[in-house]
Amino acid sequence: MRKKLLLGNWKMNKTVSEAKDFALQTAELVKFAEEHNVLVGVAPTYLCLDAVKNNVSGMIVAAQNCHFEDNGAFTGEVSIPMLKDLGINWCLIGNSERRTYDNETNEKCNKKIVKLVHNDMVPVYCCGETLAQFEAGETKNVVESQIREGLANLCEKCISKVVVAYEPVWSIGTGKNASKEIAEDICKFIRDILRDMYGNAADEVLILYGGSVKPDNIQAYLSQENVDGALVGGASLKIDSYEAMLHNLVK
């Protein structure tokens, strides 16, 4: 049986002291999550990873990106061995903001994902269509190429370690969340593609919904068969709303 996962994406928010402050308030939340068999985590900026890691226990701490090379002349980048050395084992890949502003292609995401998996790390691969693509009825075509190209070259055993997040771009940070039916339809579609690519290991893959998830709508998504959790931006920044999402998720 697949576990549930609540993962906060802090994006470019929080100073090191603010991140530490949040981490220091997580003890109750982690206890509740453990009691209910839910995985919880946050993805802070690189600068805050160490502070969060050292002040929480029982929470996943994920990076928001990584480079696919181990080292070299790549100003401003951070590599997988650098993250591993900090004890970071999870990493977001291909968030729509990175696809939009940093030219993150499916091919580039794939290089990172293959490298992460070979380093025993968990990639959280984000996919999803833009508003124009949604309105043109292209959602499934777009998502299918993102999945087939971004998650190519893995083995059956490796794929079960990958987490996928379906985040329609038009719903991110806009308050216009996709309906639970759309979320289920696309998450199931993703699982079917993974089954076609990697066989029954697809049943072990955690597939999250993301885009304007809040305490009052999280339960509707999580009640869907193929939605195993949520990737949450804005509503994960405050401990109160993070906690409220966790409580509503298990209802």
Residues that bind ligand PGA (CB under 6 A): 9, 95, 167, 172-173, 210-213, 231-235
Q: Whose Cβ is closer to ligand PGA: residue 119's or residue 241's?
A: 241
| Separation CA 70–CA 26 (nearest Å) | 33
29 sits in the region (left: phi over 0; alpha: psi -120 to 50; else beta) called alpha
- Give me the phi and psi of 125, to 5 degrees please: -90, 120
Q: Whose Cβ is closer to ligand PGA: residue 83's or residue 172's?
A: 172
Q: Whose Cβ is closer to ligand PGA: residue 83's or residue 213's?
A: 213
- List the one residue out of 122, 169, 173 whose CA is nearest residue 143: 169
Rounded to a whole number of angstroms, the minimum distance from the CB of residue 166 to ligand PGA is: 11
CB nearest ligand PGA: which residue?
233
Rounded to a whole number of angstroms, the minimum distance from the CB of residue 173 to ligand PGA is: 4
Rounded to a whole number of angstroms, the minimum distance from the CB of residue 136 to ligand PGA is: 22
| Separation CA 51–CA 81 (nearest Å) | 18
Handedness of CA 210, 212, 216, 217 (dihedral sign): negative
Q: Whose Cβ is closer to ligand PGA: residue 38's or residue 127's?
A: 127
Say if CB 212 and CB 174 are below 8 A apart.
Answer: yes
Q: Whose Cβ is closer to ligand PGA: residue 151's or residue 235's?
A: 235
Encoded tokens for 15: 């100073």
Rounded to a whole number of angstroms, the minimum distance from the CB of residue 165 to ligand PGA is: 7
Rounded to a whole number of angstroms, the minimum distance from the CB of residue 176 to ligand PGA is: 9
